[in-house]
Chain A
Amino acid sequence: MSHSAPAPMVVVIDDDYAMRLSCAKILTKMALRAEVFEDGARGLNGVATTKPDMVIVDLKMPGISGMEVISRVHEIDPQIVIVVITGYATIDTAVQAMKCGAYDFLPKPFSPDELRLIVNRGLERRRLALESQRHEIEQTMLKRRFVTFVSHQLRTPLAAVHQYLDVLKHLDQTGDGAARRQEWLGRCLTRIEELQELIADWLTLARVEGGSLFNERIKVDLNQIIAGILKSYEPTAAAENVSLEACLPDEGLFVPGDRNCLSVLFDNLITNGIKYNKPGGKVTISGSQSRGEVVVAVADTGIGIPEKYRPFLFEEFFRAKDDGAKRTAGTGLGLHICKRIVSEMGGTIDVESQAGAGSTFRVRLPAWREPDIVGSQKDAGQQANIDCR
């Protein structure tokens, strides 16, 4: 228990001795820490030193008024939850206290149960407020880290291109120099292409995160999408000496979603399958549907992913350090984008892999459900059924 956070602290400010005593007793019994003070000045001092989660204050006290205590407590920490106690419980005083920033009020006399209820409610509110504040800070820091990293990623290829051109300006371009220039210009083009790819991926990610691509969920046939992608990658795969194979059900694989997002998803998985493969290797896409779920697996016979890297595979900018494998170009965003798309669509993605033998990425998505209207257009997706084996 020594590692758990300390119990919440409640400060009670009331000029009535009996009231302070009974409140402290009830609060201590609730396993809370309690401090009591007899007037506003001492109370505010106490608040400043004990940094409580909650303040319970009597509205009618000699010296500093309860109303003033409320606003001064919030000057110390606006997240402190304040409950006012009043013997003259009129709507007016209650409203006025709320306006000053009190969370709730407790009319005198009140029972221990009433106090417990209001304290628990107030502390819960405090917990939620702190949590959302923490979450906000975390998000800001994540964004800042992302921006730093992206700007470095953007600058690096630009710096390389700049450096080549800068040096070319100063070097002799005749004889061997001419061949070198040709080689360097080729490298410049490659680096610029990488940069364009990174910007494109980054934009896709921003759009996926913005959620604008998910407003419309139409019936999409994955067979058709996958067939189109495979067709467009035939030349690349042939050049890498990798064969592509699909094993999809004739009746189609229908999911509710956005066509562009689903294209990006399977495009990324299939490109990876080709890119991280071996000569003579294979990429197999298989799909099935059961119990309201569509499962598509993209399996390759490539270099595989060492186990230690698997937990980070879907994180932004993560790239497995190639242990003896060939150096492969990539932005480090592809799988992260896949993960975002799949989760936005209410599905999951995971990977099974054997280092040196290959990886299988498995995407699970909720299947398309026909609306409960009789006579729905049963063959809406029929023309999409292309047998691509």
Chain B
Amino acid sequence: MQDNKRILIVDDDQDFVEAVACFLEANGLTVFRACDGAEGVRMAKLERPDLILMDIMMKERTEGFFAIQEIRRDPSLRRVPIFVISSFCTRLPDFEIPSSGGWLAHDMFFAKPVDTVQLLEKIHQRISQAA
């Protein structure tokens, strides 16, 4: 399973990150971990991942919203697929994403806890589409 696709996971629950990251790594993906919105934005700019998994409620705030806005403001990250994984909402949340004019067709929502097999499948699908 030779695949050096790069995934960034942003979530303040270290246990959740650990479980999902291990699973993705075991399936041949390279995973970067960030534990809050600010770190997520920094890592996204630094590592230029192929796809981002983003939590919404972090540190008792909706930090995910700001992180997504910030990431999409970066021209080279404007097209990167974002998967929202949250137990806080039940679909892609409705908020302003100024630079890209809203969610992209390849963005997705997953309820937490997430079905990892399905997540993996969608990651592969979206990355090959975006490429």
Residues of A within 8 A of B (CB): 152, 155-156, 158-164, 166-167, 170-172, 180, 184, 187, 191, 317, 319, 321
CA of A191 to CA of B18, assembled, Å: 14
**B15–A160 contact, CB under 8 A?**
yes
CA of A124 to CA of B129, assembled, Å: 67
Which residues of chain B from 16 to 34 have any CB-CB distance to chain A below 8 Å in the complex?
16, 18-20, 22-23, 26
Q: Find chain B residues with CB under 8 A from A167 CB.
A: 19-20, 22-23, 116
Contact between chains at B23 and A156 (CB < 8 Å):
no
Most A CB atoms within 10 A — which of B59, B60, B88, B113? B113
* Residues of chain A with a CB closer than 8 A to B44's CB: none
**Shortest beta-carbon contacts, A-B, top 9:** A162-B113, A160-B15, A163-B19, A159-B113, A155-B87, A167-B23, A167-B19, A159-B112, A164-B19
Q: Which residues of A contact B87 (CB under 8 A)?
A: 152, 155-156, 159
Q: Is the CB of B116 within 8 A of A170?
A: yes
Q: Is the CB of A156 within 8 A of B113?
A: no
Which one, B13, B19, B22, contacts A156 given CB within 8 A? B13
Across-interface contacts of A160 in B (CB, < 8 A): 13, 15-16, 19, 113
* Residue from A159, A180, A319, A321 in contact with B16 in the complex, judged by beta carbons closer than 8 Å: A159
Q: Which residues of the other chain, A, contact B57 by a CB distance below 8 angstroms?
A: 152
Query: Are the C-beta atoms of B60 and A166 separated by less than 8 Å?
Result: no
Whether A187 contacts B22 in the complex (CB less than 8 A), given A152-B87, A152-B88, A155-B87, comes out as no
B116: which A residues are within 8 A, CB to CB?
Answer: 163, 166-167, 170
* B117 touches A (CB below 8 Å): yes
Chain B hits for A152, CB < 8 A: 57, 87-88
- Shortest distance between the CB of A166 and any CB in chain B (Å): 6
Q: How distant is the Cα of A319 from the Cα of B60 in the complex, in angstroms?
A: 9
Closest chain-B Cβ to A191's Cβ sits at a distance in Å of 6
Cα-based distance from A191 to B13 in the complex (angstroms): 11
Q: Mark B96-117, 1 if CB is under 8 A from A, else 0.
A: 0000000000000000111111
- Bound together, the chains give a CA A119 to CA B117 distance in angstroms of 71
Question: Are the C-beta atoms of A171 and B15 separated by less than 8 Å?
Answer: no
Who on chain B is nearest to A319 by CB? B60
Q: How far is the CA of A353 from the CA of B69 in the complex (A)?
A: 38
CB-contact partner of A163 in B60, B88, B114, B117, under 8 A: B114
Question: Which partner residue on chain B sits nearest A158 by CB separation?
Answer: B113
State whether A171 touches B22 (Cβ < 8 A): yes
Known: A152-B57, A159-B87, A164-B19. 11 other contacts (CB 8 A): A152-B87, A160-B15, A163-B15, A163-B16, A163-B113, A163-B114, A166-B116, A171-B23, A172-B26, A191-B15, A321-B59
Assess whether B59 is in contact with A184, with CB atoms less than 8 Å apart.
no
Chain B residues closer than 8 Å to A191, beta-carbon distance: 15
